[in-house]
Amino acid sequence: SPSAAVDHAAPFPTVGDDPHGAIIEAALQRCLPGEDRCPPLLAEALRYTVLGPGKRLRPRLVLMAAEACGGDAPAALPAACAVELIHAYSLAHDDLPAMDDDDLRRGRPTCHKRFDEATAVLAGDALQPLAFELLAGLSPADTAARCCAELARAAGAEALVGGQVDDLAGAEALVETQQLRQRLERIHARKTGAMITVSLRLGAIVAGASQEILSTLTAFGERLGLLFQVTDDLLDATGDAEEVGKRTGKDEGRGKLTYPVLMGVEATREFADRTAAEALQSLEPLDATADPLRALVDKVHHRSH
């Protein structure tokens, strides 16, 4: 179609405006150890966990940030794979009976359902060092070291794992709406926001970006991470049963603290609109090379999965 209008119902992202999808898939396939390097069961579980039908949001952010900073996408592929490996591990572990106890992920049985719990734990364990091995191979050496340190912090106790621990702990003791909201925001900033922000930062670091541009992308990542979480909550609250089932398997009806629970669906939609506008505003210092990031804001804002 000659129309340039964004098709919000299209898969995420659409093929025509997706220069990164294919190179990300190929790089992910290449970076996983085959049966010649590890037990066949583990090789299969790693492929199952990583190569499933995910949106690849975080590796896309790495590549888009690298290009927005004047770098080229292929040089940023190790960092793109590294963030997706950490993300895939976090999903496999989050789905375990000890945590969220989900049967479905990405429309298929979760890793522990398809294999068994020990295999799901160990596949997640193997993905973490693999991510850092990829970053360690970046050059020059100080880029490699900086990327390792940045991802370690985003995936560690201060961010992803700490956010997950607080999320699992629940919020029963809190009754004030303001307290609940602050808690929700702190959990999201660590569980979702940190990985989204570090994805942008790794792309920028690989491309040799200045501190100023890094700060711009960090501010953008914080808004985009929030938008991603708010739209995630809206999809859980309002998505059709089939899509909700594909996404998590069983999020409904278990009293999860979300924005729609806290402020209602309408106010959450307005919050998403404001957050999307702020995300776009934070990109103002960047030129047209950041247009794919601007388009992605729109995609996340109006996503259907």
Nearer residue to ligand GRG within complex by CB, 93 or 183: 93
Among 67, 150, 222, 232, binds ligand GRG (CB under 6 A): 232
Q: According to CB under 6 A, which one of 20, 93, 112, 301 is a site residue for ligand GRG? A: 93
In the complex with ligand GRG, which residue's Cβ is closer, 67 or 94?
A: 94
23 lines the binding site for ligand GRG (CB under 6 A): no
Of 49, 110, 192, 268, the one binding ligand GRG by CB under 6 A: 192
- What the block records as the tokens of 243 is 């899509």
* Cβ within 8 Å of residue 142, ≥6 positions away: none
| Residue in 46, 60, 73, 90 binding ligand GRG, rule: CB under 6 A | 90
What is the number of alpha carbons within 13 Å of residue 136 lying toward its C-beta?
7
Query: For ligand GRG, how many residues bind (rule: CB under 6 A)?
Result: 15
Nearer to ligand GRG by C-beta: 164 or 282?
164
Shortest gap between Cβ of 102 and ligand GRG (angstroms)?
Answer: 9
What residue type is 138 in one-letter code? Answer: L
**DSSP annotation string for 174-241:** --SHHHHHHHHHHHHIIIIIHHHHHHHHHHHHHTT--HHHHHHHHHHHHHHHHHHHHHHHHHHHHS-H
Nearer to ligand GRG, 55 or 269 (CB): 55
Q: Which two tokens stand for residue 271?
A: 């919050």
User: Rounded to the nearest 10 degrees, what angle do helices 211-238 and 177-188 cross at?
Assistant: 120
Find the shortest distance in angstroms from Cβ 24 to ligand GRG.
11
Question: Smallest distance from the beta carbon of 112 to ligand GRG, in angstroms?
Answer: 13
Selected binder of ligand GRG within 54, 78, 239, 292 (CB under 6 A): 54
Q: What is the smallest separation between the CB atom of 13 and ligand GRG, expressed in angstroms?
A: 11
In the DSSP assignment, the letter for residue 53 is S
Our finding on whether 231 is near ligand GRG (CB under 6 A) is: no
Torsion angle, alpha carbons of 229, 235, 237, 238, to 10: 150
Secondary structure class of 143 (helix, strand, coil) = helix
Q: Does 203 bind ligand GRG (CB under 6 A)?
A: no
Position 161 contacts ligand GRG (CB under 6 A): yes
Rounded Cα–Cα distance for residues 16 and 259 (Å): 33
- Whole-Å CA distances, 231 to 118, 199, 202: 33, 19, 24
Q: Smallest distance from the beta carbon of 232 to ligand GRG, in angstroms?
A: 5
**Residue entry with tokens 């603290």:** 257
Nearest residue to ligand GRG, by Cβ distance, number only: 54
Q: Which of 47, 55, 181, 186 binds ligand GRG (CB under 6 A)?
A: 55
Answer for which of 47, 106, 108, 114 binds ligand GRG (CB under 6 A) is 106
> 10 Å Cβ neighbour count for 177?
10
Question: Which residues would be at the binding site for ligand GRG (CB under 6 A)?
Answer: 54-55, 57, 87, 90-91, 93-94, 106, 160-161, 164, 191-192, 232
